[in-house]
Amino acid sequence: MTAPRTPRKAFGRLSLPERNYVAEALRTETVGGVLLLIAAVTALVWANIPALSDSYESVSNFHFGPEALGLDLSVAHWAADGLLAIFFFVAGIELKRELVAGDLKDPKAAALPVVAALCGMAVPALVYTVTATAGGGSLAGWAVPTATDIAFALAVLAVIGTSLPSALRAFLLTLAVVDDLFAILIIAVFFTESLNFAALGGAVVGLGVFWLLLRKGVRGWYVYVPLGLVIWGLMYNSGVHATIAGVAMGLMLRCHTREGEQHSPGQHIEHLVRPLSAGLAVPLFALFSAGVALSGGALADVFTKPETLGVVLGLVVGKTLGIFGGTWLTARFTRASLSDDLEWADVFAVATLAGIGFTVSLLIGELAFEGDAAMTGQVKAAVLTGSLMAALLATVLLKVRNAKYRRMTEAEERDEDLSGIPDIYEEDDPAYHLRMAAIHEKKAAEHRRLAQEKTQERHGLAEVTGGAGDEGDRPA
């Protein structure tokens, strides 16, 4: 007889190593998200103050770089194609790690975030398409609301002070990794108009050399950084979006540990590069991409033009319903079930965060309406508006659930035996129970001592009171 298969709990407790990895990764992303938020606000202020707006345009459009190599680009272009390659390099490492050591390693465990991410991209695209078609608008921006900005989402969490349990945080991170993968595929497939096969062949050869050096164990940033820059330059000139070079190199890093290694090369490099990505590359991209002119008329146009309305509805409605629906369908038609500690309202609240589409949405908006500056600016305004609306909705819903999240987080972090490891991860360790027994015995001994003292005090008080009464009963 075969043993009955128990249902797998969705959003169940993470293993301790996975929990520590998620905590470290999200800590960096949260700090980067706050910087991203500051950069976006700075860009909006800079671009909308009359005395400064001309300087914003001048700096954004200032060109520099070797023209002979086809790299005489504007500052905004360098930020979008150059700095974002660092962001996508980290995304490639994250994806590789998830595939070999994370939730995506097990197909059964991977089903939930993959289906949720796919639905969270398909439904916004459908919402945009229906809205644009009904209004007679362009379908070119169908991919704009499909992307989620995890750094911005975590910045919202940091600002409102919500403590998500580690399982939901891991779900957000894994969802973002899968989301980034499909966003990369969309950029590579739908926004590559013409190819320079000589440059593309050179980039492929460079990637082959990169892979060979990794397999041979060659070390040294002075080898890989120049090679990476050459691969990036060739990829840019090939017609394929240059950020694809970053993803490809990230995927080539080894992300599993070997005997004697505490961290894999991929994890080590990610630890070094992630602060550069979250703290510099993405905020600078936001600084030179989010600076759109805002006015009452421009904001009104966001809700009247089919393209911009489609972006807003795609982010706010499509993302939330897509991710929540994909998660519910997976739990409904597979053996996965929701953790006993969570309710579907928790999943819905987290799904609203995914409507914050900023970095990649702005990038896709620039690519989708390239050559149409007016529409590009309007779509950027729509991305900002939709992301703000999703952030406000998420804030309200998460505040409502915040007390429950706090209790769950406290349970995850409780360490009564002071071992440095949360108690919840030591329940199967006999030594933990012996330590807890000693602690309780010590507390019991203290309580017995206090009980004895209180009893003696009470008896002494009774004797004193009784003596006073006898003296008072004597005849005068």
Residue 361: count other Cβ atoms within 10 Å of its Cβ: 32
pLDDT band at 120 (very low <50, low <70, confident <90, very high): very high
Give the list of residues 6+ apart from residue 422 with CB closer than 8 angstroms, or none: 16, 412, 413, 414, 415
Q: For residue range 175-210, list pLDDT tens digits in order.
A: 777 787 788 788 888 887 778 899 999 999 999 999
Q: Structure tokens of 158?
A: 């940091």
Q: Which residue has the higher pLDDT, 302 or 208?
A: 208
Going by C-alpha positions, the residue among 279, 227, 277 that lies closest to residue 252 is 227
pLDDT band at 16 (very low <50, low <70, confident <90, very high): low
Task: Reduce the DSSP state of residue 337 to 3 states and report it.
Answer: strand
Q: Of how many residues is the chain composed?
A: 476
Q: For residue range 45-61, list pLDDT tens digits in order.
A: 998 888 888 899 899 98
Going by C-alpha positions, the residue among 135, 131, 134 that lies closest to residue 123 is 131
pTM of the model: 0.72
Q: Quote the CA–CA distance of 355 and 361 in Å, as a whole number.
A: 11
Strand 8-10, strand 336-338: pairing: parallel
Give the list of residues 6+ apart from residue 197 with CB closer than 8 angstroms, or none: 238
One-character DSSP codes across 86-148: HHHHHHHHHHHHHHHTSTTSSHHHHHHHHHHHHHHHHHHHHHHHHHHHHTT--STTTTGGG--
Core vs surface per residue 118-157: b (16+ CB within 10 A) or e: bbbbebbbebbbebbeeeebbebbbbbbbbbbbbbbbbbb
The confidence score (pLDDT) of residue 23 equals 56
The confidence score (pLDDT) of residue 389 equals 93
Q: Quote the CA–CA distance of 142 and 33 in Å, as a whole number.
A: 26
Taking residues 85-113, report their average pLDDT: 79
Determine contact, residues 403/329, Cβ cutoff 8 Å: no
Task: Reduce the DSSP state of residue 323 to 3 states and report it.
Answer: helix
Q: For residue range 407-443, list pLDDT tens digits in order.
A: 666 666 677 777 767 766 677 778 778 778 888 888 8
Count how many Cα atoms sit within 13 Å of the Cα of residue 357 in the half-sphere of its side chain. 36
Q: Structure tokens of 295?
A: 């006015």
pLDDT greater than 90 at residue 231: yes
Q: Which residue has the higher pLDDT, 288 or 471?
A: 288
Taking residues 253-277, report their average pLDDT: 85
Q: Which residue has the higher pLDDT, 393 or 412?
A: 393
Going by C-alpha positions, the residue among 172, 171, 126 that lies closest to residue 150 is 172
Task: Reduce the DSSP state of residue 53 to 3 states and report it.
Answer: helix
Instruction: Match 């990764």 to its residue by tokens.
Output: 25
The confidence score (pLDDT) of residue 474 equals 52
pLDDT band at 11 (very low <50, low <70, confident <90, very high): low
- Which neighbouring-strand residues pair with 74? 63
In Å, what is the CA distance from 416 to each residue of 4, 365, 399, 407, 413? Answer: 36, 51, 28, 16, 10
Range scoring the smallest mean pLDDT among 111-125, 330-344, 378-392: 330-344
Q: Quote the CA–CA distance of 147 and 381 in Å, as a whole number.
A: 16
pLDDT greater than 50 at residue 467: yes
pLDDT greater than 70 at residue 458: yes
Range scoring the smallest mean pLDDT among 22-31, 86-95, 117-126, 205-214: 22-31
Alpha helices in 314-343 (DSSP H): 319-333
